[in-house]
Chains A and B, each alone.
Chain A
Amino acid sequence: MTRSVWWRRFFVRGVFWRQGLRFAVLNVPPWTEPIVMAFWSTFFLVWGPGRRGVMRNLKVIKPGSLAIANLFRCYRVFWNYAWTIADNVRFKELRTIPDWEFTGREYFEDMQTRQGAILLTAHMGSYDLGAHLFSETSTRRIVMVRAPEADPQTREFEEHHGVDSLRIEFNTRATELALDLLETIREGGIVAIQGDRVTGSISSLPATLFGKPTTVPAGPFALALAARVPIYPVFVVRLGRRRYRLMTSRPIEITRSRNRDDDFARAVEQWMAELERVVQECWFQWFTFEPYWPEPAR
């Protein structure tokens, strides 16, 4: 093992922290958990790029906010993140499920009764836990599409400690994946995709969030158009200790017209309105640690 590889495990996205989290889930008594969470949330505030990324995003979500106030808000984001990733690992390792509340239940049930659908979500709350639970309780087959872990050891660790019932696909092999997902939908399955940020070189669509230009993945919209199924915006929001709310919104229907760009623009606009509403309400659970909006050129 080379020196650089040895160090890599301690990087913020390195496997050491995943192993540590699993160790904690298997060893921390629940009655000391809040202390452990508070300690590690404070520790990770030292992670400069993550902290600055969250604070920059908060500045846009809460215009005119003070840097010191955003530092405390940033702590709240880290605190919520710590609890949500712990709940996710706890479910995988110990099968402990949190309490669930549902809003927009009629849309959620409609999605389950349909022959194929797309579930569009964001990096909010415990999207992983929601997908895992959904996959184990639903009669529908669910395929989750996500960006792969940047660190190879972390990726291997996550694959080894995953839940068998949930199929996870990575968005790196675009063309073959699109065909696989189309097949899944046509067979009546549900494809869950995170649609709030573009990672790597995947194709994107222009959008506006909080009045600022950005881009969102084009995949879910193209897939919905090809498969002729609606997109259901679903958010999993953490309400408190081991307590979550699954919020399903009115489905986004992509109607075909002569101008495909206009079809996409209408769908993206509806998705961004939904995302903005939820992020505005639950900014403390939008786990976007990189600056979401590019810095304007000076």
Chain B
Amino acid sequence: MMLNVVIDRPDARRLPSRHRFAVARLIGYILLGRARSAVERPEHLILSIDRDQTAVEMHLTAFWAFATTACYIAASLPFALPLSIVLSVPLAAAAIHLPIVLGGSILRAFIGDGNHIKIVSVITMALLLIASSYVATTRSWARFVAWLFFAILLLNSVAAVILWLLRGSVQSAEERCVR
């Protein structure tokens, strides 16, 4: 079995290749090679090179997606705000499952059993985008959350452009790190 790993290089934790979103990849690139002595050095270390490997990035993105969904649901409920916020928490958790369960099942029926993560991810993000586009145009307090959503998307797009411009130096920094 071929494993895409880096062995005994603690600083490789910051490799841009271990991050999914452009902002996180750019931060990884900036931090790569800095403060090497401060990195914890265990006896032996095997780091996987996978774009979904970093915990902070994934937890922050999950929190952002969850909080955004919960805000949209709370704003649309016909109850007093505190009650709506309380109710929005389980409803948002259930809502986030919908594209996974429905999308996954439909994909399985049409494409067959297998890895559908990429398509489900695109569907989920597209649904968030559609919901944000709608909420951003309303007079509800949740429009600020929708604007924040678009601001983060814009920030990620800017980071993607910067990364594309720096692609040569990012690649050589990664190669230096894993060498």
Establish whether residues A241 and B48, one from each chain, have CB atoms under 8 Å apart when the complex forms. no
A277 at the B interface (CB under 8 A): no
B45 and A26 form a contact (CB under 8 A)? no
By the criterion CB–CB under 8 Å, are B103 and A102 in contact?
no
B interface bracket (residues with beta carbon within 8 Å of A): 35 or more
Cβ-defined contact, A32 with B44, below 8 A: no
**Is residue B47 contacting chain A, with contact meaning CB distance below 8 A?**
yes
Residues 39-66 of A at the B interface (beta carbon under 8 Å): 39
Asked if A32 and B62 make an inter-chain contact with CB atoms under 8 angstroms apart, the answer reads yes
B-contact 0/1 string along A16-49, CB 8 Å cutoff:
0000000110111111111110110000000000
B168 to chain A minimum Cβ distance, whole angstroms, is 27
Find A27's partner among B42, B44, B117 (CB 8 Å cutoff). Answer: B117
Taking residues whose C-beta sits less than 8 angstroms from the other chain, chain A's interface range is 35 or more
- Whether A36 and B97, one on each chain, are in contact in the complex, defined by CB atoms closer than 8 angstroms, is yes
- The answer on a CB contact under 8 Å between B96 and A137 is no
Stretch from A90-98, A113-121, A182-190, A290-298 at the B interface: A90-98
Task: Report the bound CA distance from A79 to B67 in whole Å.
Answer: 20
User: Max chain B CB contacts within 10 Å: which of A27, A96, A97, A245?
Assistant: A27
Cβ–Cβ contact A29 & B117, under 8 A: yes
- Chain A residues 239 to 271 lying within 8 A of chain B, measured CB to CB, are 240-243, 245
- Complex alpha-carbon distance, A213 and B144, angstroms: 60
Contact A34 B20 (CB under 8 A): no
Instruction: Kindly provide the distance from the CB of A54 to the nearest chain B CB, expressed in whole angstroms.
Output: 23
- The residue in chain B whose Cβ has the minimal distance to the Cβ of A26 is B115
Most chain-B Cβ atoms within 10 A of its Cβ — which of A23, A99, A102?
A99
Q: A96-B50, A97-B48, A100-B46 are in contact. Are A30 and B117 (CB under 8 A)?
A: yes
| A180 within 8 Å of B (CB atoms) | no
Q: Does residue B120 face the partner (Cβ distance < 8 Å to A)?
A: yes
Contact with B along A132-172 (1 / 0, CB 8 A): 00001100000000000000000000000000010000000
The reply to whether A28 and B58 contact each other, CB–CB distance below 8 Å, is no
Q: Please tell me if B155 contacts chain A, counting CB pairs below 8 Å.
A: no
Instruction: A27-B116, A32-B62 are known; give 13 further A-B pairs, CB within 8 A.
Output: A26-B104, A32-B65, A32-B124, A93-B115, A96-B48, A97-B46, A99-B45, A99-B46, A101-B42, A136-B1, A165-B1, A241-B58, A242-B50
27 chain-A/chain-B pairs, Cβ below 8 angstroms: A23-B104, A24-B100, A26-B113, A26-B116, A26-B117, A27-B117, A29-B120, A29-B121, A31-B52, A32-B62, A34-B59, A34-B62, A35-B65, A39-B97, A97-B5, A97-B48, A99-B47, A101-B45, A104-B43, A105-B44, A137-B3, A241-B55, A242-B48, A242-B50, A242-B52, A242-B55, A245-B42
Q: Residues on A close to B: CB < 8 A?
A: 23-24, 26-36, 38-39, 93-105, 136-137, 165, 240-243, 245
